[in-house]
Structure 1
Amino acid sequence: MNSTVSMMISALIFFFILRGQLSGMNKPLKKSGISLLLPILYISTSFMQLFDPSLHIREEQVIIALVIGMVVSIPLILTTNFEVRDNGSTFIKRNKTVFVLLIVIFVLRFLVVATIKSIDPSTLSFMCNLVTFGYISTWRITSYLKFRGVSSSKQAMMNV
């Protein structure tokens, strides 16, 4: 898979993530909160690159990419919160910083792909997808846990 196709797929996944964030701020999350975990499924489709015979990735590259992704997720985790509104439904708290962070991360990804020439394009593309998987899965799993905490405290308040 060439880097152009990979970046187009990344742009599509990025669009779905932004759309999900925006809809979560404007309409209530379902009781289970499973929709928060869907972006992990979206990005996991990039693992199809493992079938590319031109992919040459080492174990330490995988670990480094995933750790970078986890570090990148920290500001997203800190800025993503949930609130129970007057109607008793749980929403993602409105926060423009999340959108700015996502856009910055996406632009940085494009810049990295455009400037790093020492790694072959398929390996670089896969490493970028691993970084993305690292931050999306860490951010979304933590967000899901935050959501469950807010939802359970809402239930506790309703039972009092």
Structure 2
Amino acid sequence: MHPTLQTISMIVALLMATSMIFIRMRAARKPISFRKIIAPPFFMSTGFLMFVLPDTTTSISYDLIAFCVGVIFSIPLILTSRFELVGSDVYLKRSKAFFFILVGLLIVRITLREEIEPIFSAMQTAGLFFVLAFGMIMPWRVAMAVMYRKLMKKQASF
């Protein structure tokens, strides 16, 4: 990739990631529901259609590695995600570490991208990072859904 285009690509990715961090931080101010928890991985799964294009595909072993790295990245998110009941509404309890975890994950992803980009095409890199992101979001959201259900059952028993 041309150096100028690579710089522009990096700046756009950083801006998008930064905006997502602030969107996640603001979302904690609104009540959450089961539907809001499971919607992101459900809608994100449509991105797998990119693999219809031969230019995006890599070997299954690379895809599994990317997914597993995403699962590992989900662990700090799972450990810092907690819910609290306020009246009849459920809120994602904001962790002081959450912002730093998201920034740390962003830095690690940028570093990984710099290492991977020379090996794979831009389309393959995009595909691998999509799989990594899905591997991170899916377990996090499943864990959140389980925690939400437990809290709702606990509330119903009172």
TM-score (structure 1 length as normaliser): 0.79
For structure 2, the residue ranges without an aligned partner over 5 or more in a row are none
Q: Does 1:29 align with 2:62?
A: no
Query: Take 2:73 and 2:29, find their aligned partners in 1: how far apart are those partners?
Result: 26
Query: Take 2:139 and 2:126, find their aligned partners in 1: how far apart are those partners?
Result: 20
Identical counterparts, % of pairs: 22
Query: Take 1:21 and 1:89, find their aligned partners in 2: how far apart are those partners?
Result: 18
For 1:142, the equivalent position in structure 2 comes to 143
Contact 1:84 1:90 in 2 (8 A): yes
Deviations 1:110-157 (A, max 9, x none): 232233312222112211110100010110111111011111101111
Trace 1:1-160 onto structure 2 (pairs within 5 A).
12=16, 15-16=19-20, 18-23=22-27, 25-30=28-33, 33-85=34-86, 87-116=87-116, 117-157=118-158
Judged with a 3 Å threshold, the aligned counterparts in structure 2 of structure 1 residues 12 and 126 are, in CA distance, closer, same or farther, namely: same
Query: Take 1:74 and 1:153, find their aligned partners in 2: how far apart are those partners?
Result: 24
Query: Take 1:6 and 1:53, find their aligned partners in 2: how far apart are those partners?
Result: 24
Judged with a 3 Å threshold, the aligned counterparts in structure 2 of structure 1 residues 73 and 39 are, in CA distance, closer, same or farther, namely: same
SS of structure 2 residue aligned to 1:54: helix
Structure 1 residue 19: deviation in Å? 2.0
Contact 1:43 1:132 in 2 (8 A): no
Contact 1:13 1:43 in 2 (8 A): no
Query: Take 2:59 and 2:32, find their aligned partners in 1: how far apart are those partners?
Result: 39
Contact 2:51 2:57 in 1 (8 A): no
Judged with a 3 Å threshold, the aligned counterparts in structure 2 of structure 1 residues 65 and 122 are, in CA distance, closer, same or farther, namely: same
Structure 1 residue 22: deviation in Å? 2.6
Structure 1 residue 10: deviation in Å? 9.1
Q: What is the total number of aligned residue pairs between the two structures?
A: 152
Query: Take 1:70 and 1:18, find their aligned partners in 2: how far apart are those partners?
Result: 22
